[in-house]
Amino acid sequence: MQQSFMKIFGIFGDPIEHSLSPAMQNAALQALGEAACYHAFRVRPEKLKDAVLGAAAMGFGGLNLTIPLKEKALKLEILQPDELARAIGAVNTISFRQGDQNITGHNTDGEGALLALQDAGVRVRESQVLLIGAGGAARAIAYTLEQEGARIAIANRSIQKAQQLAACVSGSGFSLDDLGRLVPGSDIVINATSVGMKEGDPRLFDSWLLHSDQTVFDVVYNRETELLQDARAAGAKAIDGVMMLVYQGAKALDIWTGKKAPVGVMERAVRERLKERQAKAEKETKEAKETR
């Protein structure tokens, strides 16, 4: 592999140091035999336009965007969002077709979620979906599952946001207080909030509301959440956020290279990295206790 001809791919965000995308995408690029590498770049929102133009000028193969740049990218006049990214209101993938003359914005988060469900053998068409959350991830999931023929109820801490999103996807909007009656009647329950990212986060609803005919999908991927533990205990199908992360990345790779992404390799890379982080965190906690 000749270093000088390496194609560069990247992810822009701020903060960015905890991103799992470099480990996942580099494993994929290597498995595909591409002379390419994928880096994380810290880019502040006010520098996004310059950074994207710079990447285009330098012949980057493609970019991912993460917090807080996904919505901002949609407003850049240098970038043409595709129909789905425009509907969702956010861009998480950028492709460069002819250098900086054709910069296109895509959103692969929703397809990532759909593929994660399908990968687990879940039927989405005509299913009653309860989507908790109305932020960026929830918007992407709502549009994609609606296109796939699901019936969608959206519950969110801020009910106005739930109702606004529901109106865009022919669904109904609710507050979190309605979860007690919404959860038992849903085929698929999706947590698309950031609740569960931290150990000790309070549950969004009581565990006894879940039952074994359901699928519970938690988009949180940094740890095994209490929601997923409750789902397993109830005998429901439990899907974590890792596969959504993997499939959104796989779809981006497909857009950039036209090649079928090695999903198994990408999943292994993510799970290994998460295990290393968990072991490191446990070691640090133990050491802190010992020095007390």
> In this chain, which of 158, 229, 278, 285 binds ligand NAP, going by CB under 6 A?
158
DSSP string, 105-152: EE--HHHHHHHHHHHTT---TT-EEEEE--SHHHHHHHHHHHHTT-EE
Q: Which of 7, 47, 49, 70 is catalytic?
A: 70
Beta bridge partners of 118: none
CB 221 within 8 A of CB 252: no
Which residue, 71 or 100, is less far from ligand NAP as judged by CB? 71
The span of 53-61, 77-85, 118-126, 152-160 binding ligand NAP (CB under 6 A) equals: 152-160
- Tokens 């439990």 — which residue? 238
Which residues, at least 6 apart from 135, have a Cβ–Cβ distance to it below 8 Å? 161, 192, 193, 194
The pairs formed by 170-176 with CB atoms below 8 angstroms and a separation of 24 or more are: 170/146, 171/131, 171/142, 171/146, 173/134, 176/132, 176/204, 176/205
Q: What is the 3-state secondary structure (H, E, C) of 10-65?
A: EEEECCCCCCCHHHHHHHHHHHCCCCEEEEEEECCHHHHHHHHHHHHHCCCCEEEE
- Tokens 């796939």 — which residue? 148
Rounded CA gap, 114 and 248, in Å?
10
- The site string for ligand NAP over 52-71 (x = CB under 6 A, - otherwise) reads --------------------
Beta bridge partners of 252: none
User: Does the protein bind ligand NAP through residue 109 (CB under 6 A)?
Assistant: yes
User: Does the protein bind ligand NAP through residue 79 (CB under 6 A)?
Assistant: no
User: Does the protein bind ligand NAP through residue 253 (CB under 6 A)?
Assistant: no
**How many residues are given for the chain?**
292
CB 33 within 8 A of CB 271: no
User: Does the protein bind ligand NAP through residue 285 (CB under 6 A)?
Assistant: no
CB 91 to ligand NAP: min, Å: 13
User: Does the protein bind ligand NAP through residue 245 (CB under 6 A)?
Assistant: yes
> In this chain, which of 16, 36, 52, 137 binds ligand NAP, going by CB under 6 A?
137
Which residue, 65 or 150, is less far from ligand NAP as judged by CB? 65
CB 206 to ligand NAP: min, Å: 15
The closest alpha carbon to 261, from 57, 119, 149, 67, belongs to: 119
Q: What does the block give as tokens for 84?
A: 């789905």
Where in 176-195 is the site for ligand NAP (CB under 6 A)? 192-195
User: Does the protein bind ligand NAP through residue 197 (CB under 6 A)?
Assistant: yes
> In this chain, which of 10, 13, 110, 136 binds ligand NAP, going by CB under 6 A?
136
70 is an active site residue: yes
Cβ-closest position to ligand NAP: 135
Which residue, 79 or 132, is less far from ligand NAP as judged by CB? 132
- The site string for ligand NAP over 116-135 (x = CB under 6 A, - otherwise) reads -----------------xxx
Which residue, 10 or 241, is less far from ligand NAP as judged by CB? 241
Residues lying near ligand NAP in the complex (CB under 6 A) are found at 109, 112, 133-138, 156-158, 161, 192-195, 197, 219-221, 241, 244-245, 248
Residues with active-site annotation: 70
